[in-house]
A and B are shown apart, each in its own frame.
Chain A
Amino acid sequence: IAGITQAPTSQILAAGRRMTLRCTQDMRHNAMYWYRQDLGLGLRLIHYSNTAGTTGKGEVPDGYSVSRANTDDFPLTLASAVPSQTSVYFCASSDSGTGLNGYTFGSGTRLTVV
């Protein structure tokens, strides 16, 4: 089934540890995005990539890094996790850089930093 696969589904992480959230899509979409969703704050963009080899910062990029070595994969790394990074993380993709045809979202990674 075409779509986005995120891993892990959930994770409890000790503060200070490094963690990479994985995101893979099989739709050959050019653009990919990482959002976090927090109760009362909605979805906020962390980083994005309009095409393989390029990345950009979103609204809340601090403490996170991304890479886009190929079209299909867009991992999100927390270099040294802090409790405020406890959230649900969604990866998304769109078939164009404009996103006007809508995003396809993954099912999310629920991360708890303790």
Chain B
Amino acid sequence: EDQVTQSPEALRLQEGESSSLNCSYTVSGLRGLFWYRQDPGKGPEFLFTLYSAGEEKEKERLKATLTKKESFLHITAPKPEDSATYLCAVQSGAGSYQLTFGKGTKLSVIP
């Protein structure tokens, strides 16, 4: 059974204070690892897909990296508008194309 664990559950940062969110996973052959952003009262918004260990992707102040057992979402010099819940999900190479989501990390960036 695929499993995704995100840590920490919640993170408070001062504006400009860089940090990382962690996503640990166990999966039967990784097809893809996904990061989504979710704002309160809204549906998740797709950020990145990572396919293999060593891959990195960037978008504005966000950079996602992938190893064989975990992924990190690095946030550089965050701004208050980066406040959201960040969700990690995996898709295994076995069976259907379903995603298994983690419970998310709620990020608050304080001005």
Contact = CB atoms under 8 A, between A and B. Distances in A.
Interface of A: 4, 31, 40-45, 48, 50, 56, 58-59, 90, 92, 97-108
Count class of interface residues, chain B: 20 to 34
Nearest to A35: B101
Given A99-B97, A100-B31, A102-B34, A90 B44 contact: yes
B104 interface: yes
Given A56-B96, A59-B98, A98-B97, A106 B103 contact: no
A101 B49 contact: yes
A42 B46 contact: no
A43 B51 CA distance: 21
B62 to A, nearest CB: 14
B43 A105 contact: yes
B91 interface: yes
B94 interface: no
B41 interface: yes
B31 A43 contact: no
Q: Top 9 closest A-B pairs, CB basis?
A: A105-B43, A102-B46, A43-B101, A42-B103, A42-B101, A100-B32, A105-B44, A98-B97, A90-B43
A103 B37 CA distance: 12
Contact of A108 (B42, B87, B97): B42
A48 B98 CA distance: 8
Nearest to A56: B96
Contacts of B104: 42
B98 A92 contact: no
B91 A108 contact: no
A106 B41 CA distance: 11
